[in-house]
Each structure stands twice: as C-alpha cells, then as structure tokens.
Amino acid sequence: MFAPPRTIVQRDAGLYALERALQRRGFRIVAGADEAGRGACAGPLVVGAAILPEGKRGEIAGLTDSKLLSAATRERLYDEVVARAVAWSVVIIEPGEVDGRGLHVCNLAGMRRALASLAVSPQYVLTDGFGVDGLSAPGLAVWKGDRVAACVAAASIVAKVTRDRIMVDLHERYPEYGFAEHKGYSTPDHQAALRSHGPSPVHRYSYANVAAALGDASGGGTVAVSGVAARSPLALGDNVGMEGGQA
C-alpha cells in the first residue's frame, strides 16, 4: 500500500500547484483520471486519463473542470490537451456494461483501464473524487480534482468531449430522444421522450426512470430488466474501446 507524500497544498494555490509539489518530491510523471456521463441515463460512461508535461508547455490557458465550460471552449481545450499531453487515453464503457456490473464498479474499472493504457507509465496518479485501488503507481483522490489539479482537468476535458461527440452521433440514430441537446442526462424533454417512445437500446435500463419508462411502454406489464444484457451493443463502431496518444 502506497502512502501519499507528506505535502500540504492550499486548495486555492492554483491548478498546477499539486502536480508541481509532487514533482518536487520526485514524482515527475503525474497522471490524472476523470469520467463523464456518470449521472446520465443514456449513452456510455467515458473515462479519460492524461499526463501533462512539466513546465510552461503543460500550462493550458482556461483549463478547468469541463462541466464549467462551454462546448466550444471544451473543443478548443481538447485539441490543446491531446496536442500537448505526454500521454492521454480514453475508455468507453457501454450502457449494457453499466447495467450489468453497476455504475461505480464500471467507473473504477474504467479508471484502471484508462491509466493502464497510457503510453507513458505514471509515477503518481490523481483521481477526481474517490480513490482507485489496484494501480501500479501510488495515487490520491482529490475532492473536485478537476478544479484543483491540471492533469485531472485535462482528463475531464478528454472524457467529456469524447462523450459529447458520441451522443451527437447517437442523436443521428435516435433523433426522437434529443441526445444532441441533453447528452443523455435526465431533463424534462428527455423524460417526455422516454414516456412517448420507451427506452432506446442505448439507455441504461437499470436506472429507475428508464425502467419506469420501459414498464410504461409495455403497457404496465412486468419487464425483466436482466434481459437487457442481451440487447445489441452500443454500436459505436470504431469509437468503442480505448484510444490515446503520446506527444
């Protein structure tokens, strides 16, 4: 069991302070990991990982929690992150896997996979919100890590932009749900579409609102949610799995 280095960093010390402190302690290669789509009831769970270079090249203007940014700003920052990163990766977890294994189990497994698939092995790992066991490097969970650690913010950008692009693609296949607008999150319009059309193959059937809509669509009859595992995969083509880069 690795113990984190005894370093005190103020939360308002800046987005790069924690990584710089770790680097001064000898952990030169620091990776961040974060997910997108945890709260959505449709579409994949996407996990990103990123290692930014030391020094000025790793400082990306405007970098922060992806949820605080406009779509256009996220796209711009995505291009900068993948261009500058020492290494980055993304893992896409289908809704059927989320239903079958559970959200949190999939989230942890996705972080492990994303970090393991980095082209450069990290010496230390920062994760957003909760710790991840089974890593090959020591790590630290950071509350709201995507707002206080640059590598976690970079990972959140990679995950969010990847997922948003997938949801726009899924909108073309299932336009009646409005995925391009709400990206699979539960909104009044999304709920209305679920009531009108029932769930699509890319909804998460283990979620209460989707299961309720499935029951409504069946005329109030009993529906075996366990049967969802037999539905076709997300059918994202080449998007499914992992991809990554190395600067």
Binding-site residues, in ranges, read 34-35, 128
Distance CA 6, CA 227 (A): 49
Phi and psi (nearest 5°) for 89?
-155, 160
* Cβ burial 5-43 (10 Å sphere, 16+ → b, else e): eeeebeeeeebbbbbbbbbeeebebbbbbbbbbeebbbb
CA-to-CA dists, residue 142 to 53, 113, 132, 145, 215, angstroms? 20, 19, 11, 5, 40
Distance (Å, rounded) from C-alpha 122 to C-alpha 45?
23
Beta-bridge partner residues of 140 = 126
What does the longest C-alpha to C-alpha distance in the chain come to?
63
DSSP string computed for 125-182: EEEESS---S-SS-EEEETTHHHH-HHHHHHHHHHHHHHHHHHHHHHHH-GGG-HHHH
> Whole-angstrom Cα distance, residue 125 to residue 89?
14
* CA 241 centroid distance within chain: 13
Return binding residues for a divalent metal cation.
34-35, 128
Provide CB contacts within 8 A for 79, sequence distance 6+: none
